[in-house]
């Protein structure tokens, strides 16, 4: 939430791994989570953040500007409910042009997975994405300035994913943000209360 407020104020392969039990039947979701590894290192935390961010970006891409919420989005598995706002603006005059796009979305995931290569996510996040560009011209030249920021935060987010043959599952709290071309600054806390602070990527 802290970085979400600051962001707006400043206006390889992954997949769910399904193992077989000794009897040849697939384990239940609960059994799979019990066998999965927790997020226990900064490297694990970076993986978890990358995949959670990918799901948030997927949701943003499914939402049209000026949508009327709540909006329900179906995934390859599960669903997501979206409220909040998304706007796109462009104005121009004889000497200047201004454009902006702003997403401020509250997303409630219910065992949501965007694709077979995505992570399964349950819980609520807030996602913001802000971009603006202004071009001003005189009789002899034009100058352009732009600003870009993003944030992602949420508490008790249940995330399950696999990477390099290893399955991970944990309940995470995330507070992350970036501005312009800088890396993401991320605070991620696992279900055991262990906090990882890092820059991504």
**Checking DSSP bridges between strand 195-200 and strand 184-189, what pairing results, if any?**
antiparallel
Does residue 18 register a pLDDT over 90? Answer: no
Going by C-beta distance under 8 Å and a sequence separation of 6 or more, which residues neighbour residue 168? Answer: 36, 37, 38, 39, 44, 47, 48, 159, 160, 161, 162
Looking at residue 21, its pLDDT comes to 32
In the chain, the number of structural domains is 1
Looking at residue 11, its pLDDT comes to 44
User: How far is CA 105 from its chain centroid?
Assistant: 10
Looking at residue 16, its pLDDT comes to 32
pTM given for the model:
0.79
Looking at residue 181, its pLDDT comes to 74
User: pLDDT tens for residues 19-67?
Assistant: 333 333 333 444 445 588 999 999 999 999 999 999 999 999 999 998 9
Domain interval for residue 141: 2-200
Range of lowest pLDDT (28-32, 112-116, 139-143): 28-32
User: pLDDT tens for residues 154-181?
Assistant: 999 999 999 999 999 999 999 999 987 7
């Amino acid at each position: 939430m802290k970085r979400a407020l600051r962001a707006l104020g400043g206006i390889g392969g992954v997949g769910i791994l399904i193992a077989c039990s000794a009897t040849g039947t697939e384990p239940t979701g609960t059994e799979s989570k019990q066998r999965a590894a927790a997020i226990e290192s900064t490297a694990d935390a970076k993986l978890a953040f990358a995949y959670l961010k990918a799901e948030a970006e997927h949701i943003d891409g499914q939402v049209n500007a000026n949508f009327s919420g709540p909006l329900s989005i179906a995934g390859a598995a599960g669903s997501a409910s979206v409220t909040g706002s998304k706007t796109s603006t462009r104005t121009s005059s004889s000497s200047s042009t201004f454009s902006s796009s702003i997403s401020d979305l509250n997303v409630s995931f219910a065992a949501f997975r965007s694709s077979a290569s995505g992570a399964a996510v349950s819980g609520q996040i807030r996602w913001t994405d802000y971009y603006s560009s202004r071009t001003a011209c005189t009789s002899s030249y034009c100058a352009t300035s732009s600003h870009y920021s993003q944030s992602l935060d949420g508490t008790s987010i249940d995330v399950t994913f696999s990477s390099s043959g290893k399955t991970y599952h944990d309940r995470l709290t995330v507070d992350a943000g970036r501005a312009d071309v800088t890396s993401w600054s991320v605070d991620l806390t696992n279900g055991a209360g262990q906090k990882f602070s890092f820059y991504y990527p």
